[in-house]
Structure 1
Amino acid sequence: MSKTITYYMTPLSPWTYLGHARLVALAECKGAPVDIKPVDLGRVFSVSGGLPLAKRTPQRQAYRLLEMARVAAHLGLPMNVQPVFFPVPPDAAAKLIIAARTSLGADAALALAGAIMRALWAEEKNISDEDTLVQVADLLGYDGRMLMKSAQTAGVQEQLDKNTDEAIAANVFGAPWYVVDGEGFWGQDRLDFVERALG
Structure 2
Amino acid sequence: MSKVIQYFFAPQSPWTYLGHDRLLTLARQYGAQVEPRPFDLARVFGLTGGLPLAKRPPERQAYRLQELRRWSDFLGLRMNVEPKFFPVAPELASRLIIAARDAAGADTALALAGAIMRAVWAEEKNIADPATLSQLAVESGLDAPAVMQAAQQPKAEEQYQRNTDDALAAGVFGVPWYVVDGQGFWGQDRLDFVERHLQQR
Q: TM-score, normalised by structure 1?
A: 0.99
Instruction: Give 1:124 shift.
Output: 0.1
Instruction: Determine the structure 1 residue equivalent to 2:8.
Output: 8
Residue aligned with 2:35, SS: strand
Instruction: Determine the structure 2 residue equivalent to 1:162.
Output: 162
Structure 1 letter corresponding to 2:159: Q
Structure 2 gaps, min length 5? none
Residue aligned with 1:84, SS: coil
- Matches of 1:75 and 1:105, distance apart in 2: 28
Equivalences for 1:50-199 in 2 at 5 Å? 50-199=50-199
Residue aligned with 1:167, SS: helix
Instruction: Determine the structure 2 residue equivalent to 1:33.
Output: 33
Instruction: Give 1:140 shift.
Output: 1.9
Residue aligned with 1:83, SS: coil
Structure 2 letter corresponding to 1:116: I
Q: Which moved more, 1:51-60 or 1:142-151?
A: 142-151
Structure 2 letter corresponding to 1:85: F
- Matches of 2:69 and 2:163, distance apart in 1: 30
- Matches of 2:45 and 2:109, distance apart in 1: 24
Instruction: Give 1:143 shift.
Output: 1.6
Instruction: Give 1:142 shift.
Output: 1.4
- Matches of 2:176 and 2:150, distance apart in 1: 25
Q: TM-score, normalised by structure 2?
A: 0.98
Structure 1 gaps, min length 5? none
Runs of 4+ with deviation above 6 angstroms: none
Q: Which moved more, 1:138-147 or 1:24-33?
A: 138-147
Instruction: Give 1:197 shift.
Output: 1.2
Residue aligned with 1:89, SS: coil
- Matches of 2:140 and 2:161, distance apart in 1: 27
Residue aligned with 2:8, SS: strand
Q: How many residues align?
A: 199
- Matches of 1:67 and 1:140, distance apart in 2: 30
Structure 2 letter corresponding to 1:87: P
Residue aligned with 2:29, SS: helix
Structure 2 letter corresponding to 1:122: A
Residue aligned with 2:88, SS: coil
CA RMSD of aligned residues (A): 0.6
Residue aligned with 1:50, SS: coil
